[in-house]
Chains A and B, each alone.
Chain A
């Protein structure tokens, strides 16, 4: 038996700044994870249902448009509604620190903003994401 961590990298909302999301997808592959990349302009509904079909352990959301306060909690909520609350959700992009608390409360596990090293993100995943 060999459990492999599966991660979905998704960009909810309408902004197309996918530099960070794509770098992370590559980095996750190179760390030995399986990455499902759903690309730009995804609705929270598309992301949640894809995450369940793909049975991922983690959904990484990237948003640079400022709409994270609506989009991130919505994904968490939809996963919960469909009985998949054990799929962890993390977020990144341009997220002001003052919004962190609200997002954590809504069930977002961790926020990674620009400046975090790739290694530290991989490290966080290895330490916090059990293959459920």
Chain B
């Protein structure tokens, strides 16, 4: 038992007394509102007491940092050894421009790189594809061939800096480019480190950046996991992401549950398809969460996530290596919590969300820029966002001690509640036969759509508040300068793509694409073929067209 009998007795008596007093006072003066809940609509009590956590077992449920169940963190040393990685997501226009921004960020004290690609690249199309009209370079950097990629990483020491790439359907292609670039620069694959997002399940569930149907998509992910395990051991081949699930309007519990269930699906599939032992690859799985505006809910979500993953890995998959039990995760503050109205308020929101992520024990963090709801971030806005992290790390004292909120009746109780609710979802999806079939049934999609609609209704009715939107609405005092991508970028990029197509050896391109196709048909690991193809300057779309041809295309089923 977590508390002594005496303490509980005392607590119960005093709580009773307090309750009576509250009753008296609220009869005289009613509360401002009847129901108090998190941004995810989870009801919160006025007070939490020892009774709320009396059933906890210290060793089983809390323990110390670096020990199972890792509620308090993976690292015994906390942030004292090193802070989380300050990893700002960036990318825009051409590879050359993005490369320039990267060098600037590294100079400013950023410690890891993170790439945003434009939509044609994200969807596996080339800049000159008709469906890509108007999109080039808009939301990230445009990459068509290895030539672009080499420009992107120009002057970046690939053996020292880790790079994260937010790429999903064409993850194999972009990772192949990274591997090829390393080889060309004389850096062995064993030495490069970084992350590809490569999490397709959340795309079907939430972000809708998809190409092939769920099953072959998972197969390609298993290929990367296998290839990484064998040849690129410092690479995180999948970043199992709740971020986009949350941005699509889910609750915190749904984000937690669906993300972990996606993780379970990848582990199961890899063990089954690749005949790998769970401990061979599990230590390289990484996660990615959203940090939304509800401070405590987010902290508890992250703590619960770590504890749940440890339990899943040890108990469900029988992993033996403690590193397999670790949930390592990146966090990004919530884009959907920001407002275009009164945009300077976004600095404050982001700071609160970033602090939650740090108190939740994140290993890596992106802080949104104040202008991100309006356009690509300006250099100045990015600097403020990066400084926000530096202030939290070095001024506030938040990193002084590990998991400072542990033991709080409220924090532990909310952590438990979120875990319980997430288990319910996970069991439900297990009963449906796993995440792929749950997606086919539209289950997670519908749950999220319901939550998003619900939240919007609450905003409309004023039950939930967004300052500048439904309360304290006013004119923006100081307009912010907007960054725009020149329409000429598309023209330039198309020209340089055509130049590459002219100079490359067409025969080699066709041959390498054909062997890739054969590998796809025969169920081989695609990675070596993919690397060969990008080296021969096959384009992103040419390679993705092979996938589309062999595996088929997935279209939005539009479930309501």
Q: Answer yes or no: do A and B interact.
A: yes
How near does chain A come to B372, taking the closest CB pair, in angstroms?
9
Q: Is A19 part of the binding interface, using a Cβ–Cβ cutoff of 8 Å?
A: yes
Does A96 lie within 8 Å of B375, measured CB to CB? yes
Q: Answer whether A14 and B203 are a contact pair too, CB < 8 Å, given A37-B558, A98-B482, A115-B468.
A: no
A67 with B134, Cβ < 8 A, contacts A17-B207, A23-B456 known: yes
Contacts of A70 in B (CB 8 A): 133-134
Please measure, in the bound complex, the distance between the C-alpha atom of A119 and the C-alpha atom of B485, giving whole angstroms: 33
Q: Are B119 and A14 in contact (CB under 8 A)?
A: yes
Cβ-based interface call for B248 (8 A): yes
Q: Is the CB of B556 within 8 A of A66?
A: no
Interface 9-mer from A38-46, A53-61, A81-89: A38-46
Q: When the two chains form their complex, are residues B556 and A40 in contact, meaning their CB atoms are under 8 A apart?
A: yes
Given contacts A19-B247, A37-B560, A96-B482, contact A118 B373 (CB under 8 A): no
Residue of B nearest to A44 (CB): B133
Q: Would you call A16 and B207 a contact (CB within 8 A)? A: yes
Chain A residues in 8 Å Cβ range of B470: 117
Tell me whether A66 and B375 are in contact (CB under 8 A).
yes
Interface with A: B45-53, B107-115, B120-128, which one? Answer: B120-128
The verdict on B139 contacting chain A, using a C-beta distance below 8 Å, is yes
Is A114's CB under 8 angstroms from B131's CB? no
Is there a chain B Cβ closer than 8 Å to A71's Cβ?
A: yes
B340: contacting residue among A17, A41, A114, A118, CB under 8 A: A114
A18 neighbours in B (Cβ, 8 Å) = 208, 248, 556
Q: Tell me which residues across on chain B come within 8 A of A43, comparing CB atoms.
A: 130-131
**Min distance, Cβ B485 to any Cβ of chain A, angstroms:** 7
> What is the bound-complex CA distance between A94 and B207, given in angstroms?
16
Evaluate contact between A114 and B373: CB separation under 8 angstroms.
yes
Q: Bound state CA distance, A14 and B123, in angstroms?
A: 7
Contacts of B375 in A (CB 8 A): 66, 94, 96
**Mask: chain A, 10-23; 1 = CB below 8 Å from B; 0 = not:** 00011111110011
In whole angstroms, what is the CA distance A39 to B210 when docked? 13
Which chain A residues lie closer than 8 Å to B138 at the CB level?
65-67
Is B341 on the interface with A (CB-CB < 8 A)?
yes
User: Among the listed A14, A15, A17, which residue makes an inter-chain contact with B125, where contact means beta carbons less than 8 Å apart?
Assistant: A14
Given the known inter-chain contacts A114-B339, A118-B460, please indicate yes or no for A22 contacting B449, CB distance below 8 A: yes
Q: Is B452 an interface residue (CB 8 A)?
A: yes
A residues less than 8 Å from B449 (CB atoms): 22-23, 26
Interface residue A69 (Cβ < 8 Å from any Cβ of B): yes
**Contacting pair A23 B453 (CB below 8 A):** yes
Q: Is the CB of A14 within 8 A of B131?
A: yes
Cβ-defined partner of A17 (8 Å) among B208, B460, B482, B557: B208
The distance in angstroms between the C-alpha atoms of A98 and B132, with both chains bound, is 23
Q: Does A25 contact B (CB under 8 A)?
A: yes
A14-B135, A16-B203, A118-B456 given; A41·B558 CB < 8 A: no
Q: Is A113 an interface residue (CB 8 A)?
A: yes
Residue B276 lies at the interface, judged by CB distance under 8 Å to chain A: no
A21 vs chain B, min Cβ distance (A): 10
Point out the residues of chain B lying under 8 angstroms from A67, CB to CB: 119, 133-135, 138
Kindly state whether residue B283 has any CB partner on chain A within 8 Å. no
Measured in the bound complex, the distance between the Cα atoms of B102 and A76 in whole Å is 39
Q: Which residues, 114 to 160 on B, are CB-close (under 8 Å) to A?
A: 119-120, 122-123, 125, 130-135, 138-139
CB neighbours of A41 from chain B (8 A): 123, 131, 208, 555-556
> In chain A, what residue has the closest Cβ to B133?
A70
Give, as a whole number of angstroms, the nearest-CB distance from B378 to chain A. Answer: 12
With an 8 A cutoff between CB atoms, is B209 at the interface?
yes
A104 to chain B, nearest CB (A): 18
A residues near B139, Cβ cutoff 8 Å? 15, 65-66
A39 to B457, CA, bound (A): 22
Residues of B within 8 A of A65 (CB): 119, 135, 138-139
Contact in complex: A23, B469 (CB < 8 Å): no
Known pairs A37-B558, A66-B138, A69-B134; A14 contacts B120 (CB<8 A): yes
| A118 and chain B: residue at smallest CB distance | B460
Give Cα A117 to B119, complex, Å.
Answer: 28
In the bound complex, CA of A75 to CA of B340 (Å): 26
B249 interfacial contact with A, CB 8 Å? yes
Inter-chain contact B134/A13, CB cutoff 8 Å: yes
**What is the minimal beta-carbon distance from B557 to any residue of chain A, in angstroms?**
8
A115 in contact with B210 (CB, 8 Å) = no
Asked if B208 contacts A22 (CB within 8 A), the reply is no
Is B560 a contact partner of A22 (Cβ separation < 8 A)? yes
Instruction: Tell whether, in the assembled complex, residue B134 and residue A115 are in contact, meaning their CB atoms are under 8 Å apart.
Output: no
Smallest distance from the beta carbon of B420 to chain A beta carbons, Å? 27
Residues 100-115 of chain A: 1 if any B CB is under 8 Å from the residue's CB, otherwise 0?
Answer: 0000000000000111
Q: Are B560's CB and A115's CB within 8 A?
A: no
* Cα A64 to Cα B16 with chains together (Å): 52
Residues of B contacting A17 in the complex (Cβ-Cβ under 8 angstroms): 207-208, 247-248
Q: Please list 26 pairs of residues, one from A and one from B, whose beta carbons are closer than 8 Å in the complex, sorted by A's number.
A: A14-B119, A14-B122, A14-B131, A14-B135, A15-B209, A18-B248, A23-B452, A23-B453, A23-B456, A39-B558, A40-B556, A41-B123, A41-B131, A41-B556, A65-B135, A70-B133, A94-B374, A94-B375, A96-B484, A98-B482, A113-B340, A114-B340, A115-B339, A115-B468, A117-B460, A118-B460
Please give the residue numbers on chain A whose beta carbons come within 8 Å of chain B beta carbons, in ascending order.
Answer: 13-19, 22-23, 25-27, 37-41, 43, 65-67, 69-71, 94, 96, 98, 113-115, 117-119
Contacts beyond the supplied A13-B135, A65-B119, A115-B466: 11 A-B pairs with Cβ under 8 Å: A14-B122, A15-B119, A16-B556, A22-B453, A26-B449, A69-B134, A70-B133, A94-B375, A98-B482, A114-B340, A118-B457
Query: Which 8 pairs show the lowest CB-CB distances between chains A and B?
Result: A16-B208, A70-B134, A39-B556, A66-B138, A14-B119, A67-B134, A39-B558, A115-B469
